[in-house]
Structure 1
Amino acid sequence: MGVIFDAELVQSTEQVELYLRRQALCNSNNNDNNLDCVAGPEVTPVDTTLRLINNRPSSAFNEATGRQHRQNAGSSSDTGSGERQVGRKAQMSNITAAKTVADIIRSCLGPKAMLKMLLDPMGGIVLTNDGHAILREIEVAHPAAKSMIELSRTQDEEVGDGTTTVIILAGEMLAQAIPQLERNIHPVVIIQAFKKALTDALAIVEEISVPVDTSNDKSMISLIESSIGTKTISRYSELMCSLALKAVRTVSQDQSFFSSSVQTNGTSKPSTTTNATRSQEIDIKRYARVEKIPGGEIEDSRVLDGVMLNKDITHASMKRRIENPRIVLLDCPLEYKKGESQTNIEITDEDSWNKILQIEEEQVKKMCEAILAVKPTLVITEKGVSDLAQHYFVKAGVTALRRVRKTDNNRIARATGATIVNRVDDLQESDVGTGCGLFEIEKIGDEYFTFLTKCKNPKACTILLRGPSKDILNEIERNLQDAMSVARNVMFHPRLSPGGGATEMAVSVRLAQKSKSVEGVMQWPYRAVAEAMEVIPRTLIQNAGASPIRILTQLRAKHAEGKSSFGIDGDTGNVVDMKEYGVWEPQAVKTQSIKTAVESACLLLRVDDICSAKSAQQAGGNGLSAGAGGED
């Protein structure tokens, strides 16, 4: 199951709009027992299956998201050189495109999520249910669809999780705006109501969230499991949770910085007070590297208390195992100093040639002597090591590694306490790293790997992943990155919100109650936000194969009684208490998801004109750009 290739979108944009309008009107009229919305001809939602060839979706997808952008271009102030849509047509075009993108990954939410199969330009296959990974691979034509994909990227960079949730929420927010526009409510009024609802929603999330002890391994692992449980590697969730938690705790580092405040007491001289403030730095991207080696079993994956490199020694006679090594890190070549570009040397006799060779050898010897003066046992450089330098190192019993990546060198420095030196003349005893307990070279498969382990206080680590194939390892890495992001977020903001759609349903029910006190026409769009929040538990129920109407009614009744921790069991689709079920999510992820979804919906609703810019050939003219926006 998953995405079926070579499927085409068969519905027209008018059908999509009719479906969205009917669904939104049904939701808004639930309390009036209006049953007419289910009558009439069957209108199915747009089929979001794609044909992804060479990293591009099918022409039908681009046509469905861009047909409104192209049609009737000449009917509204067309100047003859560009395409333009104004007012309601532009808003409906944006809503249709955003809803289509949301429908693509709607089935990727929850533990029963379906997989999407993507073909990359090189013919490789990507199997994933990660919303960000899917949207990152597809290419769309409509500007609103591009904006939705950008939402996913922003969510992934900010909190690392909730990418699927934010897209589904944003799409539903825009779909709920259709009946408001049909009532001729001005988009500015809708946006004001959305922002008021956002403020109240964030307060509700804060109210139902609970603090968590980040030093408790059991509670932290159960929290990370709720994130990994929806991924492909849910079978190995306990192992991956422990790997993610250990990696994040390894790279976390307390920082102290000083803040000064100036105080004035009447006419007296101002007095300055300095306060020390502590903060935590957790840089997963830079200091927690994931190394994927095909082969072995997934259970063989582990977190190294140090650094691993895909490097071998430069000379066969060098030591392959050193205990408590003295490490020197360099950012300069241990080779003959090359001349500048277009350097010419004229030699008139044999003695001059020998003298040049002698000078080059003396340069290398001088550099090696400066290094050996601090008595290292391991030298690692980002540049090359000449044969003569290798000779001196072998003679002195020193092991050397060359052409190490800059990022790897930085992690070695952080793990071993060494300082990267740019010139060997500046090398001092304090620059030598002594924090590593063991250096050894191991052969895994057909390649040699360098291990710097048993570090005393490593602030950098390497996560070694093993698995049967590269495709599986890539998916494990994506899921592990999400797990580490969850652990990092909780350490920054140690508060949890109930998962399984419980937070969204609590926000929905309470906003619906508060909407009765909202005056004027703002009450309609305010209530629309409450109805849009139900899309998360509804989608979880649908993906689990249960009855959305029956289960959602039960869940709504529980929350009406004030039981805010009740949500959906993603495996069975039943209503359960998340406190007992043990599914929690970081409050930071929930807050960011709701913020991003509402703000993006407001942004797209504010658009009332879509016009095409000039092409490069037309840009040379002096005329005004085609389809310039009209005045208010």
Structure 2
Amino acid sequence: MAQGQPIYILPEGALRTTGRDAQRNNIMAAKTVAETVRTTLGPRGMDKMLVDDLGDIVITNDGATIVDEMNVEHPAAKMVVEVAKTQDNEVGDGTTTAVVLTGELLSSAEKLLDQGIHSSIIARGYRMATEKADEILKEIGKEISIDDDKLLTEIAITAMTGKGTETSKEKLAELSVKAIKQIAEKENGKIVIDLDNVKIEKKEGASTADSELIQGLVIDKERVHAGMPKKVKDAKIALLDVAMEVKETETDAKIQITDPNQLQAFLAQEENMLKEMVDNIVKCGATVVFCQKGIDDLAQHYLSKAGIFAVRRVKKSDMEKLAKATGATIVTNIKDLEEKDLGYAAEVEERKIAKDEMTFVKGCKNPKAVSFLIRGGTEHVVDEVERAVNDALGGVAASLEVGTIVPGGGASEIELARRLKKYAETVGGREQLAIDAFADAMEIIPRTLAESAGIDAIDILVKLRTEHEKGRKNTGVMVLNGGIGDMLKDGIVEPVKIKTQAVKSASEAAQMLLRIDDVIAASKKEGGTPPMPEGGMGGMSPGM
């Protein structure tokens, strides 16, 4: 019988890391991603320049954009990217906070692992701390209503601070609040906001201060015929989901013509069909037509003769927004078009913006879809302003949907840490240590804010703890002044949803990574390096 015969259960080139090494590698990868975005946190946060393999450049300090553009390969690092994406999809802001918290929770857990505490106990402690943190955040929150314009504007300004919009953040914040209030709807006593109803159009040129909110819609299309009016006042708008063209038969058809008169009659019939379509539109009183499909050249001629402004091949999403903005009904058969199907706008005009013709539908009566036109000096500026506006819109929407806000500037995190430490004392067993570690991890936010302001983080943390022990729960880091102060008085406020979502996502990701003790990575095809190298980020050699 043969002795010492090796048994292979994994394919050649597969890499396996087990036990403490697997945990250490995963924690290291997650911490590396967190450290990358940590310097972008707060009003003094720095930007990152990301260059892809095609040479395209992205300059941003938006956490979700950074981790998405980094194109990470390490499986544990990818989980941290998922945390940022979840935060962005759920709230629209707070992505950097969520990533930084994930890294710090794992860093705190690593110290406990070194002390010989089992990862499942740490995970259980983190779970208990997350539930308690949710309760605490809801308790320290302050209620907000849709009529509180001052607070809503402060939320938008807080979301945009440090994102390259400093010169115009007050104006952009006001426009963001107006946009959200315009599209907000009440259902069963609750405010419901669909951010898809705010259409963001961006064009280079002019300055950020020239950005505007249109009480209606901006469509990146031009009128189909030069003979049509450029501007229509008190527009009656028809929305058509049907081609204004002669229909072709569904089946293969062959028409035999033996006489030139028959050909003439055939062409005349096609003309009549198109004229009849236009006559139906004219009869119902429409002065503007938005068509989702094509418009025949002859139909364009008849529409321009009738003085009707027409746009073709409008996107389905834009058609739906036009319906919400103008109150029109999308019609699929021109013969069924009636006056009651028409929408209203005070003005529809074609304007040239940065060398492109665009159609503006303005002055709608109580529109439930609006457009935000963003301007800026360069493509990169416009992109960063768009990200800042998205954060502001997400922040205002989240605060209204939940109806609660909390102080920013690290005040909420310090209060969380203080109360969690007290809660830890009531919990028996080793889980107490995990809850304590969770509380310590919360302080990474005020510490980072202090570091970015160039002030001593330890001094600031000691002062903040003292103030919070005295019951001043709104005290946080005044980054721009280099001290501490009352966040609510200074208008540094955030929706409670940003904090609850960030804490939950970060905690769940940390728990999942802590429970992994074995990583088996298949080799890449075509002789590539395995996706899970020994430590560090994907693609780095052990000696780097």
TM-score under structure 2 length normalisation? 0.91
Query: Is the 8 Å Cα contact of residues 98 and 505 (structure 2) preserved in structure 1?
Result: yes
Aligned twin of 2:26: 94
Cα offset for 1:577?
Answer: 2.2
Aligned twin of 2:214: 304
Q: More displaced, 584-593 or 552-561? A: 552-561
Change (3 A) 1:456 1:78: closer
1:252-267 matched pairs, under 5 angstroms: 252-255=184-187
Percent of matched pairs sharing the same residue: 38
Cα offset for 1:436?
Answer: 1.1
Q: Is 1:610 aligned to residue 519 of structure 2?
A: yes
Q: Is 1:155 aligned to residue 87 of structure 2?
A: yes
Q: Is 1:323 aligned to residue 233 of structure 2?
A: yes
Change (3 A) 1:417 1:543: same
Query: Is the 8 Å Cα contact of residues 546 and 572 (structure 1) preserved in structure 2?
Result: no
Amino acid at match of 1:393: L
Query: Is the 8 Å Cα contact of residues 337 and 360 (structure 1) preserved in structure 2?
Result: no
Change (3 A) 1:580 1:373: closer
Cα offset for 1:613?
Answer: 4.3
Amino acid at match of 2:380: D
Aligned twin of 1:387: 297
Query: Is the 8 Å Cα contact of residues 102 and 171 (structure 1) preserved in structure 2?
Result: yes
Cα offset for 1:216?
Answer: 1.9
Q: Is 1:243 aligned to residue 153 of structure 2?
A: no
Aligned twin of 1:283: 194
Alpha-carbon distance in 2 for matches of 1:76, 1:494: 59
Query: Is the 8 Å Cα contact of residues 110 and 543 (structure 1) preserved in structure 2?
Result: yes
Aligned twin of 2:485: 576
Aligned twin of 1:15: none
Query: Is the 8 Å Cα contact of residues 295 and 469 (structure 1) preserved in structure 2?
Result: yes
Q: Is 1:457 aligned to residue 389 of structure 2?
A: no
1:185-584 matched pairs, under 5 angstroms: 185-255=117-187, 277-285=188-196, 287-340=197-250, 345=255, 347=257, 350-433=260-343, 435-584=344-493
Aligned twin of 2:76: 144
Change (3 A) 1:308 1:80: closer
Cα offset for 1:163?
Answer: 0.2
Aligned mate of 1:586, from 486, 489, 495: 495
Change (3 A) 1:445 1:129: closer
Change (3 A) 1:361 1:218: same
Cα offset for 1:84?
Answer: 1.5
Aligned mate of 2:506, from 590, 594, 597: 597
1:94-133 matched pairs, under 5 angstroms: 94-133=26-65
SS class of match (1:515)? helix
In structure 1, runs of 5+ residues without a counterpart are 1-73, 256-276, 618-632
Cα offset for 1:90?
Answer: 1.5
Change (3 A) 1:344 1:186: farther
Change (3 A) 1:249 1:336: same
SS class of match (1:369)? helix
Cα offset for 1:111?
Answer: 0.5
Alpha-carbon distance in 2 for matches of 1:333, 1:590: 49
Alpha-carbon distance in 2 for matches of 1:417, 1:121: 46
Cα offset for 1:524?
Answer: 1.4
Query: Is the 8 Å Cα contact of residues 76 and 85 (structure 1) preserved in structure 2?
Result: no
Cα offset for 1:128?
Answer: 0.8
Amino acid at match of 1:245: V
Amino acid at match of 1:565: N
User: 1:382-422 CA distances to partner (integer Å, 9 max, x unpaired)?
Assistant: 11111221232233332222122222222211111111111
Alpha-carbon distance in 2 for matches of 1:75, 1:537: 53
Query: Is the 8 Å Cα contact of residues 76 and 84 (structure 1) preserved in structure 2?
Result: no
Change (3 A) 1:401 1:552: same
The structure, 1 or 2, with the larger RCO (C-alpha pairs under 8 Å, 6+ apart) is 2
User: 1:465-518 CA distances to partner (integer Å, 9 max, x unpaired)?
Assistant: 222112111110110010011110111112111111111111112222222232
Query: Is the 8 Å Cα contact of residues 83 and 98 (structure 2) preserved in structure 1?
Result: yes
May I ask how many residue pairs the two structures share in their alignment? 522
Cα offset for 1:557?
Answer: 2.1
Cα offset for 1:75?
Answer: 13
SS class of match (1:214)? coil
Query: Is the 8 Å Cα contact of residues 177 and 396 (structure 2) preserved in structure 1?
Result: yes
Aligned twin of 2:101: 169
User: 1:318-362 CA distances to partner (integer Å, 9 max, x unpaired)?
Assistant: 222222122111011111213448665555554453343233223
SS class of match (1:607)? coil
Amino acid at match of 1:118: L
Query: Is the 8 Å Cα contact of residues 145 and 400 (structure 2) preserved in structure 1?
Result: no
Aligned twin of 1:9: none
Alpha-carbon distance in 2 for matches of 1:284, 1:130: 19
Aligned twin of 2:538: none
SS class of match (1:520)? coil
Q: RMSD value over aligned CA atoms?
A: 2.3
Amino acid at match of 1:595: K
Amino acid at match of 2:42: G
Change (3 A) 1:212 1:76: farther
Cα offset for 1:374?
Answer: 1.1
Amino acid at match of 1:381: C
TM-score under structure 1 length normalisation? 0.79
Cα offset for 1:568?
Answer: 0.8
